[in-house]
Chain A
Amino acid sequence: NAGVTQTPKFRILKIGQSMTLQCTQDMNHNYMYWYRQDPGMGLKLIYYSVGAGITDKGEVPNGYNVSRSTTEDFPLRLELAAPSQTSVYFCASGSLSYNSPLHFGNGTRLTVT
């Protein structure tokens, strides 16, 4: 059981470039989330989705876009990368059903220079 898979693990971008961080889960979870974690800080919610076709902004959505065309996939798009987007990005999924914890991917470490 793969759980939540994020790709790539590492990426270096130049200012102004764009990229997509991939996230896929095989647990048939309705809820999916993108967080960023800056050094020594907690997790800040970028976007989340409560099901295919439904997305909503989190705390820090500026500079990012998401889509949810299937239950399994929740890609995060960075347009015009900026140094402030240097961070570790985590994707997570869950079902919010009774006693069902959130599952996290291993993260994507992104550096924008």
Chain B
Amino acid sequence: KQEVTQIPAALSVPEGENLVLNCSFTDSAIYNLQWFRQDPGKGLTSLLLIQSSQREQTSGRLNASLDKSSGRSTLYIAASQPGDSATYLCATAGAGGTSYGKLTFGQGTILTVHP
């Protein structure tokens, strides 16, 4: 059974800092890994998707890396802004047997960026 863990559970930083959010998973048989953002009371918005054959993806100030062999992904946010405050979740899509297509989420990291 896939288990996805995110560290830290919460993070508070001053504006302008570069920061790293961590995601680890127990089963390396994944199709892809996705990072999402969730604002309070809202749905989830996809930020970055990394296929299992890729090492990283970038979008603007966001960079996500994937090390499938060690079961780890990191989301790097450069020059953080108050508007980045949200909950960030990672999810893996299973690639093996009965887990194919099954998406497993971590608990999320609550990020607060203060001015």
Contacts and interface: CB of A to CB of B under 8 A. Distances in A.
A43 B101 contact: no
Interface in A67-113: 90, 92, 94, 96, 98-107
Given A56-B98, A99-B49, A102-B91, 9 more contacts: A41-B107, A44-B105, A90-B44, A96-B31, A102-B44, A102-B103, A106-B43, A107-B42, A107-B43
Contacts of B42: 106-107
A50 B107 CA distance: 24
What size tier do the contact residues of chain B reach?
20 to 34
Q: Is the interface of B mostly helix, strand, loop or mixed?
A: strand
Contacts of A94: 93, 103
A45 B43 contact: no
Interface in A18-45: 31, 33, 35, 41-45
Contacts, number: 59
Given A103-B46, A105-B43, A96 B101 contact: yes
A107 B64 CA distance: 26
Interface in B22-48: 31-32, 34, 36, 42-46
A50 B100 CA distance: 9
